[in-house]
């Protein structure tokens, strides 16, 4: 926590907070004075805040992280789920581990974290959840059957959860980026990055901060009547 945070600031949990979109979200939220707790399989600590060690695929690890968050004695009002991996390959060459590992992290992990967060948000009187999905969860992508399936499932989780928890004052939305400049996408072949860039109508690749800004909006009271939506942040890549 930073000195900018009021002593009674509610907690926002960000998964996958050590890098990429998750790091950008955590940084932007802290800059506006939020109390942010990051969860990642790569724990760290610096002057900007803490990142707790958490394997989102492991039920006990997720439960332990939330017990530690409970020790802050602050209400949990926000959750941003950025944790995700890729294991690309055409489906007829994809082995079981490549399929199952992506579904475990991207979808099952999101479910396990959400399951811990919802009772705490109910106790706090409401909250806001944002899932980072992908335009490829809507349109599909050659060589990404596992990733696209996991992100499509995350959209279904978002919409169903929004229906289940709206009566408790909890909103659940999703952000669907196109190509974003992160360590994950920098490993893509140059041809694939150029093809994605050519699909955009704005002619640029998104920065993590572009996605983070939309996440911050959905977490804020400015979006208090928005729930169950999937908001593309793709520069027109999927229009």
Cite the active site residues.
Answer: 147
Scan for tokens 């640029």, then name that residue.
204
Measured from the Cβ of residue 15, the count of other Cβ atoms closer than 10 Å reads 27
Between CA 158 and CA 174 the distance in angstroms is 7
Between CA 162 and CA 165 the distance in angstroms is 6
Q: Which residues contact 89 (CB under 8 A, 6 or more apart)?
A: 98, 143
Tokens of 12: 């926002």
Q: Kind and range of the H or E element at 124?
A: helix 109-124
Between CA 88 and CA 82 the distance in angstroms is 18
Query: Which SS3 state, helix, strand or coil, does residue 3 take?
Result: coil
Scan for tokens 């209400």, then name that residue.
75
Rg (CA), the chain: 17
- Helices 59-70 and 109-124 pack at an angle, to 10 degrees, of 30
DSSP state of 95: -
């Amino acid at each position: 926590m930073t000195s900018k945070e009021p002593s009674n600031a509610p907690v926002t949990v960000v998964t996958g907070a050590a890098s990429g979109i998750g790091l950008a979200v955590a940084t932007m939220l802290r800059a506006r004075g939020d109390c942010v707790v990051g969860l990642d399989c790569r724990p760290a600590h610096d002057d900007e805040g803490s990142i707790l060690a958490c394997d989102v695929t492991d039920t006990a690890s997720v439960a332990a992280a939330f017990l530690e968050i409970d020790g802050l004695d602050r209400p949990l009002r926000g959750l941003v789920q950025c944790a995700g991996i890729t294991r690309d390959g055409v489906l007829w060459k994809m082995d079981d581990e490549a399929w199952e590992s992506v579904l475990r992290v991207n979808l099952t992990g999101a479910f396990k974290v959400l399951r811990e967060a919802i009772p705490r948000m109910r106790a706090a009187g409401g909250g806001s959840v944002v899932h980072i999905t992908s335009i490829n969860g809507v349109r599909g992508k050659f060589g990404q059957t596992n990733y696209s399936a996991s992100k499509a499932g995350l959209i279904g989780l978002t919409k169903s959860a929004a229906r289940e928890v709206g009566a408790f004052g909890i909103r659940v939305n999703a952000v669907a980026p196109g190509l974003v400049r992160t360590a994950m996408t920098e490993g893509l072949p140059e041809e694939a990055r150029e093809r994605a860039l050519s699909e955009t109508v704005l002619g640029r690749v998104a920065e993590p901060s572009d996605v983070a800004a939309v996440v911050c909006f959905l977490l804020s009271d400015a979006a208090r009547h928005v729930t169950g939506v999937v908001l593309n942040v793709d520069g027109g890549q999927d229009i």
